[in-house]
Structure 1
């Protein structure tokens, strides 16, 4: 996982896995971790990524149920 400082706030930067491309057009995502602390950023990065995965899974499952 790549955590970078952008301005004065850490961000998580990751490539979108191919599995989720049908529901996420971006190739790379930047997620603000809303902290300037490196230790907090490390903890928040894992949670932020897991949240994105869950959201993409929900969108994939919704598309399968409706036939889209």
Structure 2
């Protein structure tokens, strides 16, 4: 999926690299089933824009299903 030259994959790679640079002692692996990383990632405005999500501007963050 593309959005103005931005791909979902490139956003994910950027976020993983930024996280690893800020916290190098933590694993660079991304575990999509773990709560915190996925919630943080999918609540990023640029990720929501690329996914065409939250177009109505809901006032609460996205949370994964339990």
Give the TM-score, by structure 1 length. 0.28
The structure richer in strand per residue is 1
